[in-house]
Amino acid sequence: MSAIAHALPLPPLYYSGTTKNYYRTEARGRWMAVNETSAMKFIRQSGHTGQNGNGIGADDECLLRIQSEQNVDYVGPLAGYRAGPHEIRGRLVLVTDSPAVIQPQPGDWPTLRTVLEGMFGEQLPYVYGWLKLSHQAVAEGRWSPAQVLALAGPVNSGKSLFQRLVTVLLGGRAAKPYRYLTDRTQFNADLFAAEHLMVEDEAESIDIRARRHFGAGLKDVAANLDHQWHGKHREALVLTPIWRMTVSLNEEPERLQVLPPLDGDVADKVMLLKVNHTQMPMPTETPEEKERFWNALMAELPAFIHFLSSWEIPANLRSPRFGVRHYHHPELLEALNRTAPEHRLLALVDDIHFRRKGLAPLPMAWQGTAEELERNLMGDESFRRQVQQLLQFNSACGTYLGRLEAKPGSRVTKRTINGYTRWTIAPPTDGTGGEVTQVSDFDDPNEANPSRQPPRTPALLPLG
């Protein structure tokens, strides 16, 4: 009897040294925690009975083997994973619950089509591409990078409705990551239980440092495979959740400012869509009407998913990294750019230098170092407070000039002379600053003698 019992495979029972619990499946296929007494009953029911040669019961021997061979480092839901044991980064984890993935079915989806077409208009191919790839990743349990989907539009335009649809399409589980992404908490265990990370009108800080910190979090969610799970009183470990993230906000400039500037390596990791206010195809005034409307959308969702599974992303919208290219709505991008500190710096240069109050606009390009520009801007008393608020750290002026110079078609260029970076700022071409006057190369004697002092400040006319 003992030899037979010893030859039996270990039952589907797992042990967590952290929680001191055992885990087995219940009737609905989910995993539940049981104590050692219940675990022993399950072991005996699996055929591990009798005594071995050393006088130790086969059930006790099986329990010891489970503690050694089926000891898991993580127990709980994990975004994008089916219930059961998985090995992730060399660690055994037990996923306790699966996402409720909706299976595609042929059919019509007229209500949902009307809603999406009204909300997104010509942006729909980007929406379809993002949704297609997102559903596919969760349905297949396969990680892939994906842009963060940012939705901006008027109040009651359907942004929250769309986010609810995304939650259902991705398996029915959502979590709120904003506090973690803005460093207000170090604990993020709840995020790993949901496929949909959702920021819904809760982002609030317009401070540029907070915005860039938020941007770093968005990049991490969009493009990184590994993420550190950290629960209270628990050792942190690395897991690979399958996440998709959406952000909704109103389109007013002050609300758009919670987003990070879409420059550098943030730009391709955020899809910025404008949501139009549209008339819903069904009445939604009363709670009963809203419930009927939602149920109609849910009934059409399998047909919509079937459409997405067969819909091909147009060749000109494909991205080798993300599957579908990012898109930034021009109106929203312009409004967001106006809030970026580098664009505020350029606006101050235009107001202080090129459009000096009471004087004719200057047609000549400005040249000099970042330090010289800062001193000249600080020399205007009417703008001094704005300049101080903008240039809050030592290298701020040079940093912002560098960001401006990196933008396509920028009015800002640079060159290095004897180790000193000198900037050229062309006047605006909106009629107030005239055309750019060509600035010849510096005839600087220091170029022939690097040991001499740096070039002197170029002429910047007295401020009026």
Would you list the DSSP string of 44-66?
HHTT--SB-TTS-BHHHHHHHHH
| Top-confidence residue, 446 or 238 | 238
Least confident of 29-38, 251-260, 369-378: 251-260
- At residue 2 the predicted structure's pLDDT band, cuts being 50, 70 and 90, is very low
Distances (CA, A) of 19 to 15, 274, 420: 9, 46, 60
Distance CA(395)–CA(401), nearest Å, equals 10
Whether residue 177 is predicted with pLDDT greater than 90 in this model: the reply is yes
- At residue 210 the predicted structure's pLDDT band, cuts being 50, 70 and 90, is confident
Q: What percent of the chain has pLDDT over 70?
A: 88
Least confident of 215-229, 268-282, 288-302, 437-451: 437-451
pLDDT mean across residues, the chain: 87
- Adjacent-strand bridge partners of 319: 323
- At residue 439 the predicted structure's pLDDT band, cuts being 50, 70 and 90, is very low
| Top-confidence residue, 444 or 71 | 71
Instruction: For the chain, give every residue range classified as CATH 3.40.50.
Output: 110-329
- DSSP class per residue in 224-278: -S-EEE--TTS--EEE----EEEEEEESSHHHHTTSPP--GGGGGGEEEEEPPP-
Contacts of 258 (CB under 8 A, 6+ apart): 203, 204, 205, 206, 211, 214, 249
Single pTM value for the model: 0.78
Whether residue 464 is predicted with pLDDT greater than 60 in this model: the reply is no
Distances (CA, A) of 361 to 351, 352, 455: 10, 10, 26
Count of CB atoms situated within 10 Å of the CB of 262: 20
- What mean pLDDT comes out for the span 352-358? 72
- Sort strands 74-76 and 91-95 into parallel, antiparallel or unpaired: parallel
CATH number corresponding to 110-329: 3.40.50
Whether residue 435 is predicted with pLDDT greater than 50 in this model: the reply is no
What pLDDT, in 10s, does the model give residues 192-201?
Answer: 999 999 998 7
Phi-psi region of 12 (alpha: psi -120 to 50; beta: other; left: phi over 0): beta
What pLDDT, in 10s, does the model give residues 389-409?
Answer: 889 888 999 999 998 998 888
- Reduced to 3 states (helix: H, G, I; strand: E, B; else coil), residue 132 is helix
What pLDDT sits at residue 428?
86
- At residue 203 the predicted structure's pLDDT band, cuts being 50, 70 and 90, is low
Contacts of 351 (CB under 8 A, 6+ apart): 383
- Reduced to 3 states (helix: H, G, I; strand: E, B; else coil), residue 22 is strand
Phi/psi for 249 (5° steps) reads -160, 160
Whether residue 47 is predicted with pLDDT greater than 70 in this model: the reply is yes
